[in-house]
């Protein structure tokens, strides 16, 4: 196909059809990257994400020599260079070392360059999403029934877990007016194994009747924070127990009549 360059001189270009994409290139190597963006997701301080693959395609009409440069050493392309004849493609394996990355989004790039390609350089955008701690608390409600005349009710357990990555540094707040509620411990860390929190009742510091208290579990660096647990107490008052439901009395009265 004949065309005119910027100086008004004729030049030869070729029309390429690669499926849905159809365009014109000059007689020379031409780089296509598919896909041209990649997305990795991993948990903070956990295993690296699975490798992914993109393809470099030479849609031009001459041999393509290329090299791949990463914007960060934690991102590696295998192989880092190669050559392709016209119409050939090469699969590039991309690995990401995410162990030292904090939670959040980390944009990186892979740049493909060639001294001979007509459209060099080409860039593949690589997005790394690192998930930090995620707070999980169960159950969200506890119910106690007690009496001052008997022993306090048994303890109950709250589980605190980290469904994300990194380290969950949790704290528990108990309202000051809930002095009948004993929670232990009030702070701790969770990496992968859940923390068990014991909740007990002190019936000496509460009046008879029904009481409710809401405790708060939080970590400012965790998603899904804070979480609350409602603790309900039904403290029974004194009860009168009667062993007999009926009584029988026998009485002898004194007579005013003189009996001879």
Q: What is the pTM of this model?
A: 0.76
pLDDT attached to residue 11: 43
Q: Is residue 14 part of a domain?
A: no
Quote the number of domains for the chain.
2
The domain of 126 spans: 31-131
pLDDT, one tens digit per residue, over 81-99 is 999 999 999 999 999 999 9
On whether residue 248 sits in a domain, the answer given is no
Q: What pLDDT sits at residue 251?
A: 64
Domain end marker among 69, 104, 131: 131
Asked whether residue 118 is domain-assigned, the answer is yes
Residue 3, in any domain of the structure: no
Q: Are residues 223 and 147 in the same domain?
A: yes
Q: Which DSSP string corresponds to the chain?
A: -EEE-TTS-EEEEEEEEETTEEEEEESS--EEEESSEEEEEEETTSPPPPPEEEEEEE-SSS-EEEEEEESSTTEEEESSEEEE-TT-EEEEEEEE--TTPPSEEEEEEEEEE-SS-TT--EEEEEEEEEE--BEEEE-SEEEEEEETTSPPPPPEEEEEEE-SSS-EEEEEE--TT-TTEEEE-SEEEESSSPEEEEEEE-GGGS-SEEEEEEEEEE-TTSBT--EEEEEEEEEE------S-S-------PPP-SPP-
Residue 16: inside a domain: no
- Within-domain flag for 52: yes
We report the CATH number of the domain holding residue 124 as 2.60.40.10
pLDDT band of residue 217 (cuts 50, 70, 90) is: very high
């Amino acid at each position: 196909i004949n065309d005119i360059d910027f100086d008004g001189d004729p030049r030869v270009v070729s029309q390429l059809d690669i499926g849905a994409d159809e365009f014109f290139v000059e007689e020379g190597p031409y780089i296509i990257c598919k896909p041209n963006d990649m997305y990795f997701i991993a948990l903070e301080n956990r295993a690296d994400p699975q490798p992914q693959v993109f393809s470099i395609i030479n849609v031009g009409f001459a041999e393509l020599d290329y090299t791949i440069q990463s914007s960060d050493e934690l991102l590696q392309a295998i192989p880092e260079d190669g050559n392709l004849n016209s119409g050939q493609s090469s699969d590039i394996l991309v690995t990401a070392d995410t162990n030292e990355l904090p939670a959040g989004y980390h944009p990186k790039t892979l740049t493909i360059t060639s001294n001979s390609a007509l459209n060099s350089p080409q860039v593949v955008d690589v997005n790394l999403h690192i998930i930090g701690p995620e707070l999980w608390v169960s159950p969200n409600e506890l119910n106690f029934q007690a009496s001052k005349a008997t022993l306090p009710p048994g303890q109950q357990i709250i589980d605190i877990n980290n469904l994300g990555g990194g380290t969950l540094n949790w704290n528990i707040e108990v309202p000051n007016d809930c002095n009948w509620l004993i929670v232990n411990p009030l702070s701790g860390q969770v990496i992968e194994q859940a923390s068990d929190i014991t909740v007990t009742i002190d019936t000496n510091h509460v009046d008879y009747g029904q009481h409710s208290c809401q405790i708060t579990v939080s970590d400012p660096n965790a998603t899904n924070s804070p979480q609350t647990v409602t603790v309900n107490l039904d403290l029974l008052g004194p009860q009168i127990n009667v062993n007999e439901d009926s009584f029988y009395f026998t009485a002898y009265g004194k007579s005013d009549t003189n009996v001879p």
